[in-house]
Chains A and B, each alone.
Chain A
Amino acid sequence: MNHDDLDRLLGDAFDARARAAVPDSTAPPAPRFADAAAADAAATDLAATVLAATDGAAIDHAATGHGAPVLPATRRRRARWVAPLSAAAAVVAAVGIGVAVANSGHGGSSGPAASSGSTSAFRADPGAKPVHISTLNDDGATYGVAMPVVAYFTGARVTDGRGLQAATTVTVNDRPIEAAWYFEPSSAGKGPLEAHLRPQNYWPAHSAIHVSIAARGISAGKDLGYDDDLSVDFKTGAQTVVVVDSTAHKLYVNIDGKNKLTCSVALGAPASPTRRGTKVIMNKQRKVQLTGPSGTTAKQYDEPVSYAQRLTYDGEYLLAAPWDTALHRGGKPANTSSGSTLLTTADAKKLYSYTAIGDPVKYSNATGPAMQLGAGFGDWNVLWSTWLTGGAVRTH
């Protein structure tokens, strides 16, 4: 038996044994580490409640405790891991919000602290320059649970986000939920700044989301005022989370807690590695003409591609790669792409049928640079405490 035969035999034998023992269909049990985390989170919540109560600020704890009950594990993790200093800062910030609401005449006794604040403090001056708001999101659409509400501004550059934040109310199935705007230079190229609205964790699945922006006459900064009111109504579908394990070359699709698909993928080549972090499906195209790779002297492509799902503005996609013969043969995938995630045509078709615009795609261990907010819908890579600062302009 020659060496190559033995290599292959050994690899195949290990693979067959491992898969027979632990089939893809086996669901992982609840992790043991979650027990320890739950105890820690309870302690943190208690501390926050006590602090809030002693400060006299009536924070509706529903806003922070039950507002977005999507991923309890995520909440526990945060509670467990924030460094002592930032934890204290977060509590102070929460108390501060409560006080602001109380001072503004609402009494702070009901509703989510951050999104139902009075707007009376943010009236635009007469003669203010108009800023017009429009949103990317379609009314009546059904999106994945990670879909941000994206607002574009025309007319002038917003210089203060507090008015917009105070004018915005968000409900999930008619229950208020805390959500916050974050401003950034517009990656979509629509005006100087765009703003994204999201709750701390993903939107609850299978829910009706109502976003009311009563911004007409509200200040967008000194001598600036919004000229429109608008609302966005959309639904969330299943909680569909796509996880790409770059080490194992695997993609997993989890829908409402059940693993629906496990398949092999190839990622970006060493010279053009796939970004690390959480991305969001921005667009789905059954067929699309792609050119690439850009920025290299490598052979240029101009090819029709099937089942393409966009993850970044500069062109990372999930897509069918019929040209990747190793992938289709079932061999060990080689990372050859320009940053996109390559699937077999059959797998790409299945994935396409499972996903919606707004579904998160997590690349926890990809080798590329960290996913930036503006590279796509990179919203979920920003810590909530950072998010609440408002980004390019202040919101609180």
Chain B
Amino acid sequence: MAVWRLVGVDTDGGSAVPAIEPVDVRALYDSHWHQLVRLAVLLVDDVASAEDVVQDAFVALHRNADKLRDPAAAVGYLRTSVMNLSRSVLRRRGVARKHLKVAEPEATAGADHDVLLRDEHRAALVAVRTLPRHQREVLVLRYWSGLSEREIAQTLGISTGAVKSAASRGMATLARVLGSNGFGGTR
């Protein structure tokens, strides 16, 4: 392995091969909590629901931790859980809306945070909220989580072809919506 080397240091490596512990859920919680709550916020819009989603995802991971040895796999597991649980939140919200006819929480959710944002960012987020659910999921994973098409496909359990088409349709819609409202070319 190529690594930085201090001049003159002897690099006689040890030969002991210690066992690696099972996935450290607490460490993952500490290191990934912010990241995952943010991911959930971009999907469900309000922070309280997002925090719930992440707690549930970690409970699920904790239950299955003895089956997972690779922390990278554990992060993938968490991300997929967050996507699925966020979907459930939206579905429940949709049902509640249908039956109770209350004011839509997601119509105003996030507005308090949105006021802190620049106009162009706010416009982009409003446009993203109008996209079909799976297009929104793909765009969040692509442009916020920075995942590759293959990783997105794994996370969502769909084909890379489906990822590609969802991304290009979503982007086409956004380009149309945002291109026509005067924010084009501001950057």
Is the Cβ of A373 less than 8 Å from the Cβ of B179?
A: no
Residues A247 and B144 in contact in the complex (CB < 8 Å), given A293-B2, A338-B3, A381-B21: no
**Is B174 located at the chain interface by the 8 A CB criterion?**
yes
Is the Cβ of B14 less than 8 Å from the Cβ of A332?
A: no
Q: Considering only CB atoms, which chain B residue lies closest to A313 in the complex?
A: B11
Q: Which of B1-59 contact A (CB under 8 A)?
A: 1-7, 9-35, 37-39, 41-42, 47, 50-51, 55-56, 58-59
Residues A21 and B47 in contact in the complex (CB < 8 Å), given A5-B184, A374-B15: yes
**Is A378 located at the chain interface by the 8 A CB criterion?**
yes
Per DSSP, are chain A's interface residues mostly helix, strand or loop, or mixed? mixed
Q: Which A residues are CB-close (under 8 A) to B20?
A: 277, 370, 381
Q: Which B residues are CB-close (under 8 A) to A244?
A: 31
- Of the residues B3, B27, B58, B114, contact of A364 by C-beta under 8 Å: B27
Nearest chain B CB to A330 CB, angstrom units: 14
Is the Cβ of B5 less than 8 Å from the Cβ of A294?
A: yes
Is the Cβ of A18 less than 8 Å from the Cβ of B42?
A: yes
- Bound: A8/B185 CA distance, A: 12
Q: Considering only CB atoms, which chain A residue lies closest to B5 in the complex?
A: A315
User: Digit string of B155-187 for contact with A (CB within 8 Å is 1, else 0)?
Assistant: 000000000000000010011001100011101
Q: Which A residues are CB-close (under 8 A) to B10?
A: 189, 313
Per DSSP, are chain B's interface residues mostly helix, strand or loop, or mixed? helix
Q: Which A residues are CB-close (under 8 A) to B71?
A: 276, 364-365
- Of B82-90, B91-99, B100-108, B116-124, the segment with at least 4 beta carbons within 8 Å of chain A is B116-124
Residues A339 and B143 in contact in the complex (CB < 8 Å), given A73-B26, A386-B19: no
Nearest chain B CB to A333 CB, angstrom units: 10
Is the Cβ of B13 less than 8 Å from the Cβ of A36?
A: no
User: Digit string of A176-211 for contact with B (CB within 8 Å is 1, else 0)?
Assistant: 000000001101010000000000000000000000
Nearest chain B CB to A357 CB, angstrom units: 15
- Bound: A28/B39 CA distance, A: 15
User: Digit string of A58-102 for contact with B (CB within 8 Å is 1, else 0)?
Assistant: 000000000000010110010001010000000000000000000
Residues A1 and B18 in contact in the complex (CB < 8 Å), given A16-B118, A32-B58, A310-B6: no
